[in-house]
Structure 1
Amino acid sequence: MNNKSLMAFFLGIILVSALSSRAGRNEQQKAIYRDSVFILKNAKVILSQNKIIASTGKIERVWKWTGNGLQTISLKDLLYNKEYAKISPKLRSDWSLPGAISDSSSAELMNVEVTQNNDEGLSNMHLQIISTIKYPGAKLLVQHIVWVYPDAVGVRTQLRIKALDGFVAKGIRDDEKKVNSYGYNMELAGPLCDYLPLNFTIENQRRYWGYYNNPGGRHDPSREMLQETVVSGYPVFLQEDNNWASGLSVEYNRGSEGVCVVKESPKCVNQQAHLTGSFYSGPEGLKVTGWGLGAEEIVPDRFRECWATWTILWNGGNDGMQLALKKFDRMRYPVFPGRDMFILSNTWGPADPDGARFTEEDFLMKEMPALADIGIDVMQIDDGWQKGGRSSGARDFEPRYKGGWKKLKEEADKYKLRFGLWITAKYATAEEMKKNIDSLGFVSWKVDFDQLHNRQDYEERIKKYRDVLRYGPMKTQFSLCPEYDDPRYGWYYSKEFGSIYFQNLQEGLPAHLTMVPYQVLRQHWLMAKYFNSDKLQVMLQNPKRTNAERSDATQHSHSYCFAMGVPFVPCFFQSAQFLDPQGKEELKGFIALYKKHREKIFTAYTFPVGDKPDNESWSGFQMVSENGVKDNYLLLFRELHNNEPIKKIRLKFLAGKSIAITNLQTGAVMIKNADSNGDISFTVKKPADFLFLKYNVI
């Protein structure tokens, strides 16, 4: 072991920052410690005896300095006193770069910094550990970053890389590689970004999951958004690799507890995006690859970020795993009701298939009072409002209307409506967005037609979004679009800026985008399993105007179709002017009821319950509050071809408990007792109808 490295570790300069509660500014205090302890509420970081011990109060992860890098030697659930790092680490460093940094590369630990950080207000406050390591032979500096949130069920790790004088990219392999072995192409791991010494010799199963991009191309029942595979069988003698999943849950004790690992990257099942790597489970433990940084992208003038990794501990079966994942996701990407909670309309909704004519000033002037009457909060003007170009070539994002925004803004203010605007991701500038915010006061941006092929593309977009958010904090936000089969943002990345735009839905053209209620409900139900619903903007169409030759939407009510979006960010992807009087009154009443409970729903954790929608089942959503006792909600749908007016639904976290239920549409109150499996019977008298319920645990 390198004496210089040890000295740097024990006597390193530690930067401790504390937030001033009054001024909201970081005050940094400089000190030298041999044994150092840093505390933020229940989170604690200890630097002692050549180790970094990071505790959230609920889980603890420990790294040891080896002279080659930092090595994970412990991963513990503190609440259940369960140790998951069960084998002696086979690797001396949690990271590697084939052709430059190997497990035997000599390294120097330059310093360790521990600070309080909240990522410019875009994440929850946490202790940030930055260890800077020099690799003289590779001519590289590596920063290993850990985010330790108080009371979190997980920790976040990330690498940053910088070139030193003399660095040469040639000969470095920055991706996975296929190696032919007796006619079979076996995968050789690429750059390692995280490592856990998990035991795959004892009883376990591996659950891989991921979501597809291009949701607009996944409307028929055979093309589900979620891919999920459970692999059983142990020991794992040969390395098991998976290159399509965003998450892996290693499940022990008959699936009742385990370790969940998520790649914070733009990876999708059908779109690898930029160097997002794989999961490798085997005799050495769990290896996570994919730096997201090509060798030619490593530069000498700054550190560049790699994709981050979440390590989450859970118990309570798959329900408990879903809850743990959603809780940590919300630590990383906080819920911002004041910024992101609204009912959005979008002018492209009635398109057939072109919707640009609905951006004309005369149409918008008629639309605003109609939207306000039924309770819409934000009118988003899609492609066509800008001065220059159309579709992917749109530029010059200033209003083309005579007199600019003046007339439309005055009318919107009269009806207390806010604005949203469509832009192209690449060509809209921060300056243009700021100018529109100045004119309109609030803007929700729909970001379209992006293609992100390399690290520079990601850096340019993120810089732009952060710049605009800093300029108008809580006055602007973004919905990023994963449409089309292009590398974009994925589902666990860039959610701090707003939400992810979901499927386009139309009334009739193009044909494959026609709204079919059970198919819409099916995809929403699948998305709710491993994704926080407050970050998904879903499109809600007018069922009575939908082409009856391609859909049974006309046999469903307006409120039924709107209710499918209640757990998410509802986008009224239609025109209020085109509602018939009955539909207008129905929606007006339901939206008013929903708004009374909206914030509690928005800040809850949403889970799919019942059966997967197939047009003849009972299905729905369970929305569980942070405390799980008060202010919980249920949406239960009896589908069109279902013949069961009474149905037992298995609810989560309620086994053996009694709940007081209020039917929010009728006001009826009842007490129901869940059996030992959490099953409770509900009644919906007719098909294509639903229940909107609130419950408290007694």
Structure 2
Amino acid sequence: MRYSVCFIILFIFYSSYAQSQLPDLAFDYKSASVKTDGDKLIVSTGKVERIWKLTNAGLVTNSFMDQISGENYNNLASQVKADWSYYGLVDDTSNAHLVHLSAKQSNDEGFTSDHIEIVAEFIYPSVETSIKYIIWAYPDSEGIRTQLFIKGKAEKYIKNKELSQREDILFELVDGKNRNNYAAGEFAERYITTTAQDKNSVQYHAMGLDPKKNYKLGFTWWDFEGNRTNQTVRITSVDGEINQKVVAEAQLPDYKNNKDMFTTVLVDLPSETLLDGTCRIFFDKNKGEVAQVAEIFIYEEGKKDIQIANGIIERIDELKKNSPQNYSLMGYVDCGENIQGEKLIATGRVDYVPLDVLGTTRTYIGYYNDTQHRNKYDTPILKESVLNKPIDSEESVNWSNIVKVEKGNKGVILVKESHKCVNQYGVDTGEFIVSEKGVENTGTSLFPSEIDPNEYKWCWASWSIAYSGGKEGSQLALKEFDRLRYPVDPSRDIYLQANTWGSGRNKEASKEANILVELVSQA
């Protein structure tokens, strides 16, 4: 057993030939170990072993073994060259140079359990970018944690424009502000409870339409607070010279007074307003407190299936399924969300496990946010989706933090260590993609403008966990790894918390007299 820090630092002079061997490295801590063997980096916890291969593009996992059951997960047909990528900057065709490889014992300054920390650092000279890849191997753990750190001049070199090459119709909020009504979250999904609102009129600029084609405009609205809201909907040309009412006057569904749920409205989009391929959409208040709209979507005549950048996949699929006959969904905006468009397209890949997914069952798991309004049978806190149909090309899910891939009561769990929720995407939390290549965990947390040339910035970490024993075995393996990753320190983690921010429905609760009574009750 060795506790001394082992560092291997490589100074690489760029040359025309690729690196083919890793430097010698061997380090043990309790049952965990790391060693190199030629072009292989072999990391073991004593219960799982993950092997990476050095390639021209970086390191790629080519084996993940459950050392207890003997099950070895690999995919010999995979052509992936690195576990990571940053779209438009670093990919399988990039040339990487290993400049640092080290291993030491660590506990992240007391914030996690003792483990071996392996650091591999690569530079990509052609794009002036560096990637630091950190692996944590906890002794006797059924999982391994990995995390990317990136620095460089991303904005200078991203010329691919994958993040902005979009086929879907774009929406720009011109007049109005985003609002999320948390209280309404007890009764409807977030894409309904989040709205764009304005005292007089909400205005959107829709771009990317074709004046020669026929469109239908759809939207959802709801007067949850019962303000007797009455609205008119107008479509105008971009210069306002052509102005047409598509909804003369409409009373929004009143939940507070009548328990009416939201409604969906579908109207023809006047082609004469689309002279330059754009139009303006107005939701004018006639009566009530504010003008408001929850969602806007546009269908185009003809059969197409394009990627819609806005919204959660489940809602987009629902709208596609309910398309009018011989129409296809071409644009969507969740009016209450600030994060839209390119910011819902993953910037890159942070982890990859080369599984053979043939004949597997995939279980996607995620938590809802705003839990104080999810306390009924039909508003669960946890969402699970089980899929077992054959995968034609790829299967992608952007609402879950966990994917479990199982066959014969054995399998692998991938976890994204992020703030993603089922009903709130968060910041570049990406998606899980399951395909013939294996399982990919995408979304880095970093947009190109946030990558610094002088300082490493972290990406969302990933857990890979092997298990046996079916559902119970997978739950146990996940919980045990979670306890290692986030050990409980009684002096830091056990505390009493009172609800000091009151109720959103009864603001009297936040007055000083009530707060003083609550403080006494918690003393």
Question: Does TM, normalized by the shorter one, top 0.5?
Answer: yes
Q: List gaps (5 residues or longer) in structure 1.
A: 1-15, 19-26, 372-378, 380-416, 418-698
Q: Are 2:49 and 1:60 aligned?
A: yes
**Match among 118, 121, 125 for residue 129 of structure 1:** 118
Q: Are 2:304 and 1:183 aligned?
A: yes
**Do 1:175 and 1:275's aligned partners in 2 also have CA atoms closer than 8 Å?**
no
**1:217, CA displacement in angstroms?**
2.7
Cα deviations by residue, 1:197-254 (Å, 9 ceiling, x for unpaired): 10012x21000010111122323322111111000123x221111111110000111x
Structure-2 separation of matches of 1:121 and 1:278: 31
**1:121, CA displacement in angstroms?**
0.4
**Do 1:140 and 1:167's aligned partners in 2 also have CA atoms closer than 8 Å?**
no
**1:341, CA displacement in angstroms?**
2.8
Task: Indicate how the Cα distance of structure 1 residues 125 and 184 shifts in structure 2: closer, same or farther if over 3 A, else same.
Answer: same
Task: Indicate how the Cα distance of structure 1 residues 141 and 226 shifts in structure 2: closer, same or farther if over 3 A, else same.
Answer: same
Cα deviations by residue, 1:318-339 (Å, 9 ceiling, x for unpaired): 1111111111111111112333
Matching residue of 2:35: 46
**Match among 385, 390, 396 for residue 241 of structure 1:** 396
Structure-2 separation of matches of 1:130 and 1:347: 43
Q: Are 2:280 and 1:280 aligned?
A: no
Matching residue of 1:354: 508
Structure-2 separation of matches of 1:87 and 1:170: 32
Task: Indicate how the Cα distance of structure 1 residues 28 and 312 shifts in structure 2: closer, same or farther if over 3 A, else same.
Answer: closer
**Match among 331, 342, 355 for residue 484 of structure 2:** 331
Matching residue of 1:195: 352
Structure-2 separation of matches of 1:172 and 1:217: 40
Specify which structure has the bigger relative contact order, considering alpha-carbon pairs within 8 angstroms and separated by 6 or more residues.
2
For residue 354 of structure 1, what is the amino acid of its counterpart? E
**1:165, CA displacement in angstroms?**
10
Q: How many residues align?
A: 342
Task: Indicate how the Cα distance of structure 1 residues 354 and 44 shifts in structure 2: closer, same or farther if over 3 A, else same.
Answer: farther
- For the residue of structure 1 that corresponds to 2:449, the secondary structure is helix
**Match among 372, 381, 387 for residue 216 of structure 1:** 372
Structure-2 separation of matches of 1:287 and 1:56: 22
Structure-2 separation of matches of 1:143 and 1:257: 32
Task: Indicate how the Cα distance of structure 1 residues 249 and 165 shifts in structure 2: closer, same or farther if over 3 A, else same.
Answer: closer
**1:272, CA displacement in angstroms?**
0.8
For residue 137 of structure 1, what is the amino acid of its counterpart? S
**Do 1:17 and 1:115's aligned partners in 2 also have CA atoms closer than 8 Å?**
no
Structure-2 separation of matches of 1:73 and 1:230: 26
**Match among 400, 406, 418 for residue 265 of structure 1:** 418
**1:257, CA displacement in angstroms?**
1.3
**Length-normalised TM-score, structure 1:** 0.46
- For the residue of structure 2 that corresponds to 1:194, the secondary structure is strand
Q: 1:555-594 maps to which residues of 2 (within 5 A)?
A: none
Structure-2 separation of matches of 1:192 and 1:49: 26
Matching residue of 1:229: 385
Cα deviations by residue, 1:665-692 (Å, 9 ceiling, x for unpaired): xxxxxxxxxxxxxxxxxxxxxxxxxxxx
**Do 2:105 and 2:117's aligned partners in 1 also have CA atoms closer than 8 Å?**
yes
For residue 243 of structure 1, what is the amino acid of its counterpart? N
The answer to which structure has the higher helix fraction is 1
- For the residue of structure 2 that corresponds to 1:338, the secondary structure is helix
**Do 2:509 and 2:515's aligned partners in 1 also have CA atoms closer than 8 Å?**
no
**1:31, CA displacement in angstroms?**
6.3
**Do 1:174 and 1:294's aligned partners in 2 also have CA atoms closer than 8 Å?**
no
- For the residue of structure 2 that corresponds to 1:325, the secondary structure is helix
Structure-2 separation of matches of 1:364 and 1:206: 46
For residue 153 of structure 1, what is the amino acid of its counterpart? E
**1:144, CA displacement in angstroms?**
0.9
Matching residue of 2:318: none
Cα deviations by residue, 1:7-32 (Å, 9 ceiling, x for unpaired): xxxxxxxxx994xxxxxxxx756568
Task: Indicate how the Cα distance of structure 1 residues 78 and 167 shifts in structure 2: closer, same or farther if over 3 A, else same.
Answer: same
Structure-2 separation of matches of 1:301 and 1:244: 33
Structure-2 separation of matches of 1:175 and 1:259: 34
Structure-1 separation of matches of 2:371 and 2:165: 27
Structure-1 separation of matches of 2:353 and 2:506: 52
Structure-2 separation of matches of 1:230 and 1:261: 15
**1:84, CA displacement in angstroms?**
1.2
Structure-2 separation of matches of 1:364 and 1:283: 57
- For the residue of structure 1 that corresponds to 2:423, the secondary structure is coil
Percent identity of equivalent pairs: 35
Q: List gaps (5 residues or longer) in structure 2.
A: 10-21, 170-301, 309-344
For residue 66 of structure 2, what is the amino acid of its counterpart? D
Q: Identify the range of structure 1 (322-331 vs 86-95) with the bigger mean alpha-carbon deviation.
A: 86-95
Matching residue of 1:251: 406
Task: Indicate how the Cα distance of structure 1 residues 190 and 168 shifts in structure 2: closer, same or farther if over 3 A, else same.
Answer: closer
**1:105, CA displacement in angstroms?**
0.9
**Do 1:265 and 1:276's aligned partners in 2 also have CA atoms closer than 8 Å?**
yes
- For the residue of structure 1 that corresponds to 2:127, the secondary structure is coil
Q: 1:444-523 maps to which residues of 2 (within 5 A)?
A: none
Cα deviations by residue, 1:62-113 (Å, 9 ceiling, x for unpaired): 0010121101011000011110114343201111122111211111111111
